[in-house]
Every structure is written in C-alpha cells, then in structure tokens.
Structure 1
Amino acid sequence: MKCRVKFLVQTYLWTVIVFVMAKVAFMLFCREGHEFAFGDMFQVVWHGLSLDLSTALYFFIVPFLLSIVSIWYWAKWLTQLLRGYFLFISLVFALAFVADTSLYPFWGFKLDASCLQYLESPNEMAASVSAIYMIIRFLAFAVTTIVIYGGYRNIAPPQHRTATPPKYVSLILHLIAIPVIIIGIRGGLDESATNIGQVYFSQNQFLNHSAVNPVFNFLDSIDSLDSSNISYDFMSDEACEKITSELFNTESIDVDTLLNTPTPNIIVILMESCGGQFTELSGRSDITPHLNRLTNEGIYFTNCYANSWRTDRGTLCTYSGYPSFPTISVMKLPAKSRSLPCLARSLRDTKGYATHYLYGGDINFTNMRSYLIGGGFEQLTWKADYSAADQKTAEWGVRDDITFGTLFDMATSMSQPYLIGYSTLSSHEPWDVPIHQFDDEVLNAFYYLDQCIGDFIAKLRNSKAWQNTLVIMLPDHGIIYKEYDELHPLRNHIPMIWVGGAVKAPRRVETICNQTDLPATLLGQLGISHTDYTYSRDVLSRSYTHPLAIHTYNNGFSLVDSTGFTVFDLNTMQTVKGNGDINLGKAILQSASKDLNAR
C-alpha cells in the first residue's frame, strides 16, 4: 500500500510542480513590455495554484486507475504503458507551454483553441517567423519534454505485492478517494466550477494571464469553441447593416441634463431577479413599497427591458452595453469579454474614478472575476472577504442586509469620485431570507430586498455622501413566476431608477429601452464619449429615433417597440406571439453574432 501511496503522491505533486515552473518560465520569457516585481512571481504562483491543483487531477486519473489494477496484478507491459502515458502528457505539456510563451507576445492572450484554425494554413503560419525562431522553439520543446518526462520517469511504478493491509482495504481506500478527486477537479463544492476567472487578482493583465494554466485554458476553450462562433444569417449583410444603422446611434445630441454635477459618485445596484412583476409595474404596491416610492423621487425609466435571463449575461449587458445571445454567455468567453468596453474603465480612464465591485457570493462564478477586473474594477469585495459566519447566512453566500452595510461603508469612505458596482443575491432560489412578510417565499424574498434598499437609501440620504451621489437601481434580469413566462410582456419588463442628491428633479422617462442602454445614457449625461459602446444607445438623446427593446432567451427572442410585444422562436423560426417586425430582432442577432466572432 505504501508504494501505491508514494507513487500517487509523487505523480500528482510533480504535475503540479511542472505547472508552477511553467508559470515562472512564462513570466521570464514574456517579460518584455510588462513590468513586474520579483514578488509578483509569488503572487502569480499563489493565485494560480488552485487552477493548477484542479488541472493536475485530470492527468492523475490514469495513474490512479493503474494503481487500482496493481492491487491484484502488475506486469512489465503495465510499466511500459504507464511510461508511455507519462511520455504522452510530457509532450502535451511541453507543446502547450512552448506554444503559450511563443504566441503570447503576438496575441496578448493565453493559449486557447483559436490557434487550431491556423493549422489549416501552416505555410502562412510558418511564414510569420524565421527559421531560427522555429529551431529555437523546437529545441525548447525538446528540452521541456525531456525535463518533464525525466521527473515522471524517476517515479517508481506501483508494484503488485502481498497486500498489507488486505486487498479489499486498499480497494476501499481507493474508492473513497474518487469523490475527493471529482470535487478537486470541479474546484470545490461552491456554485462555481473551476474556471480561469478564479485566478485573476490584479489590474495588471499580464499577471492575471501568467496565473492562468495554459493546458486548462486550451481544453476549456475547446468546449466553447463551437458555441462561441455562433452565426445568425437571416439576411444579406447590406440589409442587416441598413436596419441596425437606424437602430443604433452612438452619438449624444441635444441631451437634456438631468444631473447636478458632471462627476457624481455612482452606485449601480443590480437587484437580483427583481422583474416588474414584483414592483408597481404589475400594479402591486405591497411587495416593494420602497422601490415604488423611489420611482417618484428620482428618474424613473418606466419602459426598460432586460436583455437576458441570467446574472452573468445581465451583468455584462449592464456594464458593457453589449447584447445577449440565446445560447451562449459572453462572460464565459474571456477572449471575447475582455475586448468589450466597460463603464468602470470608461469612468476610471476619462475622469479618474475609483472603482470597486461588491458581491456577497462567489465572484469566480461564470468567469465574473476576470470580466470585472478586465473591465476596470480595481477592487473586488466578495464572499471570501467576510467571516465564516457571514458566508453561511444565505445559500448563495452573504445575506443582502450584511452586504448593504458594506455598501454603505464604501459609499461614505471611498475617495471621490467613485463607481461602486453591487450585485445583490438573496432574492434568488432558495429564497432564504430572515423575514416572513408573505406566505409566498418568492414574494417574501423580494420584500426583504426592498427593505434592504429602503434602509440603505435612508442611511445614505442622511450622510454627507448623498449630495454628490447617483444611485442607479435595476435588475440583472427578471424571472419566470406563475403566469409570467417568456410569452408575457411583464416577464422581462424591469424598473430602472436613478436617485440621489446628484439628481436635479424627479422625472419619468417613458421611452422604450434596454438595460444595455445604461452605459451610453449615463456617459451622455456625464459628457463622456461612448462611441465604443456600439450596441448601447443614449435614450435621452435626440438621435434615439427608433425606441426598441430586445430580450433573448434559450433559442428565442422577444421585441418591444411601438407595435407592441412580439416573441420569435428560433427552433421553429416562427413568431409565437405578436405581429411586430421580427426582422429587427433578426438583424440585431446577425449583427451582434458577426461582431462577436470578429473579436
């Protein structure tokens, strides 16, 4: 048994060590143009370790299975099989490491499956570099393979011996290890599975990229390669361009200024799942009384619609003004999401805003960390920053009343001007909140969220920060609840409310719009160019001449414009409700998918 344990431990540790050495080598060989201190190497290794530990377990499976076999049988051919496997993964690792360090200076991002498309034209690929360059890379590949395989070659294989303890005990111990391995591969028991976003820790993207395991990044990108290159071809490119050019105009013209200052502190609160069916939009006054009251005290966008139905998608739509898609999440595609504009970066780079994001859950979920850091949020506060007791106050993490307290502390202590992004989480299944106003647990959760908002606004109003602060509240998405499904116009009808001392006077904006229009509309109010937000519109501008909102769901979309509410099913390619011009939605999807594939 001892020989098996030693074999497994040495195999796993050597794999992890190989990944760590690859990080250091990557930083040294790709350091040109990237400034970092010696201590940054330790930060890179430490933050990247969780991904290395998980990735190493994938390649641990074959040795583990052979260890089980050795309980009953071992022969020379099994030793040769094991060494053949070690040689194979040594070649794979070496190829990944050398390709990663070679391509990064050209691409600026980690090795992923997009390199596969260049294998179709090897002559053109080879023409991009010199013969000496290729010789050096080949030698580097050979040396790296020898070093990695040498480490595995020195590990003694398991041997079939009289079992002490008995064979069945050894088998039981191996079986007990299986769920541990599965949990390790997944990255733990939290909601989020292992992803590259979990290793992001710095505003220096080179350090973030250095922490990413290139083997994992490549394998993970293969899984999303086909789905990310979606294509909607409903019409000619000329017809599509004609429609979208009329729908999207990035200029702000003759904008009515609704704010007291061009540089307010800004707090964006994404209210988890809080669709219009829980607010005064549905005629209910008892579920969200504080939100209902605030609609009369600030700027209330009464005809705003969510772009999607998931938090990761709604978050990206809100901050990047980028459309959602029926079958994929752009946030889960770092190669795409990192190239998008973001409110945090726009405000930070143009007016020197301090930027901070707050979330009581797992910020590694769906690559959220990498998106936020890449988008310009300089600091992140999330579940791990709270006590163990606070982390257990809700199924998804830290309960909203606790994080709203953190939000108030930030709003009254951060250097000004600032942008704070905040995602609530308690109004989400399983609806575990500490109050019981309604028998219906769903309604009860939104009542609780509303109470948290009311308490926060009341405290902020009595602070010095209120006078120069703009609080923007809108949901990340709506939810299906009772009769409110994708065929119901209120399903995705969401409230967007701007309040605070920075607001000149109460106003109702009846114009139809999307949550993706927030960046252009806000930046237009601040006098900041938003030309890079191609799909975001300043709804307060005279250039906004065709009010329309689009929402995508799993293989379908809905539209709201002057003709009413229309739903189109992409599986059947038929309109299932309404009689609006469905070509508008088709053109948006076609244009957006073309843009997505070009990034």
Structure 2
Amino acid sequence: MTKLFKSRYSILMGYLSYFILFSFIIRSILFISACQHTDFKILEIIKFYLTGLFFDLGTGLLLVSFYALYLLIIPNRLYHKKWNKIVTYSLFFIFLLITLFSFFAELTFWQEFESRFNFIAVDYLIYTYEVIHNINESYPLPLLISGMLLLAVGVTFAFHKFKLFKNSFNSQIAFKNRVLISSLIIVPAILFAVIVKNSWAESGNNRYTNELSKAGIYSFFAAFKNNELNYLDFYSLIDSTKAYDLVKKELYENGTVFDHSKNTIKRTIQSTRTPYKPNVIMITVESLSADFLEHFGNTQHITPRLDSFANNSLFFSNMYATGTRTVRGMEALTLAIPPTPGNSIVRRTDNENLFTVGHVFKENGYTNTFFYGGDGYFDNMNHFFGNNGYDIVDRGRKLLDETYGGKRTLIQDNEVTFENAWGICDEDIFNVVIKDADEKYKQNKLFNNFIMTTSNHRPFTFPANKINLPAGSREAAVKYTDYAIGNFIDQIKNKPWFNNTVIIIVADHCASSAGKNEIDISKYQIPCMILNLKDVAKTNISKMTSQVDLFPTLWNLLGWNYTSEFFGKNVLDEQYQPRVFLGTYQKLVYMKGDSLVILSPQHKVDTYLYNKAKNEQKPAQLPKEITDQGIANYQAAFDLFKSGKLRIK
C-alpha cells in the first residue's frame, strides 16, 4: 500500500485518504450536533462509524475512478509532459473545491433538515437563484468562500509537502501493473454504484444513526436517481377492489352517496345545514410548528396574536401535516390526498386539470387566486395552481411564456417594502391580498384565496422595528409572522367584505420533522384555525385530524352540497374516526388512534403503538384490518393520480 503513495497513483491515493478523513470529521461534527436531540448507544456509534466508512470508501472510489482510468491509459512518455502536470494540478484543485463545498453544504443542510442530502437537495440544485441568495443572506458567503479556498490551498500544500505530486510525476510504472491497480479501483467502484443502495444505511430504528451512516455525496445522487417511486412496484399491495372498498368504508359519513363506478372514491355529500357562501382567505404559514404556540406549551410568547385567535375560533388543536415541505402542504390543502411516494404532485408532470378544492369553489361561483411573495416558478407552484383553476399573483422576475388556465399578475416594485431571497415580507403580501379583495368586492365577485407566506424561512429576515427581537433567528421570524397576521386581521375588520369572509390560518408543515425515530409523529403537528364563521361558536376540536380534512369540515359548516373525490372527511361528523396520513419521500404513514403503520419500499410494512404523551412508538403486532386500511389509502391515492382518474371530466 505504501508503494502506491510513491507511484503514479500517489495523488489518487492521497485524494482518497483526504476524502475519507474529511468525511470522518464531518460525520463527527454531525454526531455532536445530533447528541443534542437524542442519546446514542455504544453499538449505534460503532455501527454508524463503520457503515459510514464503508459508504465513504465506496463514494471515494467512485470519485477517483475516472482518474484511475486516465492513469491507466496515458503512457509514461506523455504523463511526464508539462501539459499533464498543468491539467492534473487544475483538476485536482477543482475536485478539491467541489468536495469541500459538498462538506460545507452537508453541514448547512443538516442544520436546516437534520438529514443527509435527499430530494430537497436535488430540488435546490434546480432553483439556484433562490438558494444562492438564501445562502448569501444566511451566511457570510465571502468569508466562507475565502475559507474554502484557503483550506484547498492548505490541502494542496500538504500534498506538496508529502511529495505526492513529485512522486506521481517522477514515477515509471509498466502498463500491466497499471491495469492491476486501476482495476482494483474501478471494478469495486462500479460494483458499489450498481449494487449498494443508500437504504442499506437505514437498518436501525434511530433515524439519526441511519443518517450518520450515510455519505452525503452518495445520498445526493441516490436521491437524484430515485425522485419518484412507483407505489405498485415498491410497496405492499392488496387486491385493488378491496382497497377501494376499504377507503370508501372509511370515507363514509352522513349524507354521503358513492358513485357506483369501479375503482373510484367519487361521491356526493349533502349537508343538513342552511348553506351560505362567504369569501375564504386561507393563510398558509411557512414552517409553523404547533410547539411555537403558547397553547402547545411554548413559553417564549412569540405568537400572542395566533394564541388569541386560537382561543376565539374553530381551533384544530390536534392536526397533522402530511409532509415536511411546502409543496406537500399545498398538495394536501388543494387535493386532500395522502402523500404519494417521491415528489409532491405539485412538482410532477401530468398534474393539470385535477379535481381540487379550487374546483369545488369554482363550481359554487368563486374566483380562486394563489398569492405568493416569491417567484411561483419555484417548486412548479405556478404551473400547478395556474393549470388547476387558480389565478396567480406572485413576485416573479419576469412573465414566462408558459400559458396557465388563469391569469398571472406580477407584484410590482412599488408594492414592496422589504424583500429577501425567498420573496417579499408577509405584511407586503397581505397588502396585495387586501387590494385584490377590494377590487373583487367592487365587482361583486366571491373569492377563495390561497396565500403562501415566506417570512418564516431562512434567512429569517423582515422589516425593522416591527417586533422586539432582532432578525436572523427562527423565533424572531415566527414572532414577525404572528405580528403580520395580526396586523392583517386588524386591517380587514373595517372592510365592507369582512363580515362575509372566513379566514383560515394553517401551517404548510413544521419547522423541523427530524427526531430520533424515522418518522417522529410529534414533529408533524401543526396549528390550524378558522376565524369569522357565522353562527359557529368558538370550538376546540381535539380529535386527531389531518390537513386533508380541513375543507370537507369547512364545507359542512357552510352547509354545502358538493361532489367529492377527496380523502378528507368532515371531522365533526358523529361517525368520524380519527386517522392521519403523513410521511417523507419514501416512508408513508397511516395512523389510526394509537395504531401506527409505516410503509416503505421493498414492500416493507412496520407497525407500532404510538404513545403521544411520551412521544414513543413501540413495535407492535396490529390487526390486519389496520395495516390493510393504511395500504388501501396509499394504493388508491397513487392509482387515482397515475391513472388520470383525478382529472376533471
């Protein structure tokens, strides 16, 4: 082995050693960070370091395999040329910077998501404008770049000091020996890429241990490769007819009449209440975890207005988000569907003309509008909303050529008082909403508004002199968002359209979903409240509910009769049995009462009993009807979307 460090392969071996050493350091830093959230057993620590070494070595071999091929084919007479030295130094330095940047990115990504690279990192690579500006506003980028350059120079100097460049360029090695050495690098690299799956690291119940076992770069490419999973190929199935029958049985409530067609959940729902049609404004708050509110035990007093609204509204005090990203929240709040594996439907192809919440509003004479303070091109939001019956108002940098079903209006510079990488501040987007509502009121139009806020997102910046906390922290951003929502409600109380307007405040997802368990149920709990409902007393709905249940419950209170293809239910119905859907990109969760079913690729089904008071989930054998019900919901949801049955006929 030591001879390789004195041969043509000395640079390659040095780079591989550097990569493994720095990967070890990064893993150790992440381990120290994770210790703040969970306890590790000695065997778990040994496990993730050894598994991590395996993944680091495999990833390192992949990184140097092309160079190993180059070292194999270039003859000695050319290898000693000056141009080869220039090319080698240049490529070495570039690859050094790339890996150093990836190590830095892993640290920042973990800080935000407490995870190795996943689909989110792949998404962020696409939306470079928002991400680069976000990094620039969150971190001292010039210092970080300078630091990485200095570190790269330092590593290069170390290579020079250990004579790795000199040994490589002065080496004479026969072709047959190069074949042997390069083969010992390239063949294992190919086998690693073809055989080894990133999921091999996920062998334990401690999510942090699983994540620490992975290699960041390999996780990134694994996520890029597997950004959409076919439920029918990778997950447990039951008979299709049985699946739909189980879903229908669960969805049945008073006033429901199902369509007799096969493999559908289409039904008509009739209410016994006197119908009325208010305007509806839904404020979807970025990353608003339930535990930010005093109602859920927070003692920082950062949501005084939201706590006040919760105490004087129809308050869903036990609601759960379906996912961990904004597009998952949008999916649940517009399609009322369990999360399908892979990307959210908002980001997928063939997601036009679907049966949405907006469609029900449109059938009742409403104009639907999606308001976003950033560029709606991000995460495919404009395409999804624009092609599903919504007009769009956003802060786009320019009008795109894409044609939407509705109209698109750009927020103008004179309407903006504060803006960061993710968009305008919450106060500004609310002012735009008020202006739009005034115009629609003059035109005697009913409106249904979907507002997506942005201020409670890193870099957590907002206008000065609004609250008593400095910008830059999550807590400050939450308090500013609370202030902005309160100010918005105060302003519209004097509007002529207010008395006939219902306001919904709901989170898209939590600030963090990471915990000791792969799926930490408590981290998915979000606040949700409906304000200004006519003839509805303030009520605390403590039943376990999902985002998908929000609008079916509202429409019942409004006394509407409507056609439904939603998985959501009226939670006030006497036959309602609490259940929720939630998950990650691959893990799909169905929880009914304290029975927890987790579906994973490779047809894996794990079952637990969940103790909310202790936030514990213990492996348990559940009745077959519970696991079948969980499978049925996800199987039917995937089939309805992929087969096109969710499209408006």
TM-score normalised by L of structure 2: 0.53
Give the partner amino acid of 2:334: Y
The separation in 2 between residues aligned to 1:375 and 1:585, in whole angstroms, is 28
Q: 1:255 to 1:507 in 2, by over 3 A?
A: farther
Match of residue 318 from structure 2: 303
The separation in 2 between residues aligned to 1:475 and 1:368, in whole angstroms, is 17
Is the counterpart of residue 363 in structure 1 residue 394 in structure 2? no
Match of residue 166 from structure 1: none
Aligned Cα root-mean-square deviation (Å): 3.3
The partner residue of 1:233 within 224, 230, 236 is 236
Contact kept in structure 2, 1:467 and 1:501, CA below 8 Å: no
Please list, as runs of the form range in 1=range in 2, the aligned pairs for 1:110-189 lying within 5 A after superposition: 189=129
Match of residue 321 from structure 1: 336
Please list, as runs of the form range in 1=range in 2, the aligned pairs for 1:238-253 lying within 5 A after superposition: 238-249=241-252, 252=255
The partner residue of 1:476 within 492, 508, 533 is 508
1:468 deviation in Å?
Answer: 0.9
The partner residue of 1:425 within 454, 459, 462 is 454
1:492 deviation in Å?
Answer: 0.9
The partner residue of 1:590 within 635, 641, 644 is 635
1:566 deviation in Å?
Answer: 5.8
Match of residue 495 from structure 2: 463
Match of residue 178 from structure 1: none
The partner residue of 2:393 within 360, 380, 384 is 380
1:526 deviation in Å?
Answer: 3.3
Contact kept in structure 1, 2:333 and 2:548, CA below 8 Å: yes
Q: 1:484 to 1:513 in 2, by over 3 A?
A: farther
1:485 deviation in Å?
Answer: 7.0
The partner residue of 2:361 within 340, 344, 347 is 347
Q: Structure 1: any 5+ residue segments left out of the alignment? A: 1-184, 193-222
1:242 deviation in Å?
Answer: 3.9
SS in 1 for 2:530: strand
The separation in 1 between residues aligned to 2:514 and 2:296, in whole angstroms, is 13
SS in 2 for 1:491: helix
The separation in 2 between residues aligned to 1:305 and 1:359, in whole angstroms, is 23
Match of residue 553 from structure 1: 584
Contact kept in structure 1, 2:335 and 2:566, CA below 8 Å: no
The separation in 1 between residues aligned to 2:429 and 2:455, in whole angstroms, is 10
CA deviations over 1:170-196 (Å, ceiling 9, x no partner): xxxxxxxxxxxxxxx97973459xxxx
The separation in 2 between residues aligned to 1:461 and 1:362, in whole angstroms, is 29
Match of residue 423 from structure 2: 397
CA deviations over 1:250-284 (Å, ceiling 9, x no partner): 76468575xx9611011011111112121235311
Contact kept in structure 1, 2:229 and 2:341, CA below 8 Å: no
Contact kept in structure 2, 1:228 and 1:597, CA below 8 Å: no
CA deviations over 1:478-519 (Å, ceiling 9, x no partner): 132675876433211111100026453211222222111223
Is the counterpart of residue 445 in structure 1 residue 480 in structure 2? no
1:472 deviation in Å?
Answer: 0.8
CA deviations over 1:376-421 (Å, ceiling 9, x no partner): 1134343443345839612201111211222232334423321111
Q: 1:519 to 1:439 in 2, by over 3 A?
A: closer
Contact kept in structure 1, 2:228 and 2:341, CA below 8 Å: no
The separation in 2 between residues aligned to 1:439 and 1:569, in whole angstroms, is 40
The separation in 2 between residues aligned to 1:440 and 1:587, in whole angstroms, is 44
Contact kept in structure 1, 2:369 and 2:392, CA below 8 Å: yes
The separation in 1 between residues aligned to 2:600 and 2:280, in whole angstroms, is 38
SS in 1 for 2:384: helix
Match of residue 60 from structure 1: none
Match of residue 409 from structure 1: 435
Identity within the alignment, %: 22
1:300 deviation in Å?
Answer: 0.7
SS in 2 for 1:430: coil
Give the partner amino acid of 2:446: P
TM-score normalised by L of structure 1: 0.57
Q: 1:472 to 1:297 in 2, by over 3 A?
A: same
Please list, as runs of the form range in 1=range in 2, the aligned pairs for 1:192-211 lying within 5 A after superposition: none
Give the partner amino acid of 1:445: A
The separation in 2 between residues aligned to 1:461 and 1:565, in whole angstroms, is 43
Q: 1:284 to 1:598 in 2, by over 3 A?
A: same
Q: 1:369 to 1:191 in 2, by over 3 A?
A: farther
Q: 1:465 to 1:267 in 2, by over 3 A?
A: same
The separation in 2 between residues aligned to 1:298 and 1:541, in whole angstroms, is 19
Contact kept in structure 1, 2:286 and 2:452, CA below 8 Å: yes
SS in 1 for 2:481: helix
Q: 1:358 to 1:429 in 2, by over 3 A?
A: same
Contact kept in structure 1, 2:289 and 2:509, CA below 8 Å: yes
The separation in 2 between residues aligned to 1:187 and 1:449, in whole angstroms, is 24
Is the counterpart of residue 333 in structure 1 residue 348 in structure 2? yes
Q: 1:423 to 1:265 in 2, by over 3 A?
A: same
1:447 deviation in Å?
Answer: 1.2
Q: 1:564 to 1:296 in 2, by over 3 A?
A: farther
The separation in 2 between residues aligned to 1:328 and 1:301, in whole angstroms, is 27
Q: 1:375 to 1:461 in 2, by over 3 A?
A: same
Q: 1:518 to 1:289 in 2, by over 3 A?
A: same
Shift >6 Å, 4+ stretches: 185-188, 223-226
Please list, as runs of the form range in 1=range in 2, the aligned pairs for 1:557-568 lying within 5 A after superposition: 557-563=588-594
Q: 1:248 to 1:510 in 2, by over 3 A?
A: same
Contact kept in structure 1, 2:471 and 2:477, CA below 8 Å: no
233-242 or 287-296, which moves further after superposition? Answer: 233-242
Contact kept in structure 1, 2:514 and 2:520, CA below 8 Å: no
The separation in 1 between residues aligned to 2:432 and 2:418, in whole angstroms, is 16
Contact kept in structure 2, 1:305 and 1:493, CA below 8 Å: yes
SS in 1 for 2:129: coil
Match of residue 265 from structure 1: 279
Match of residue 289 from structure 1: 304
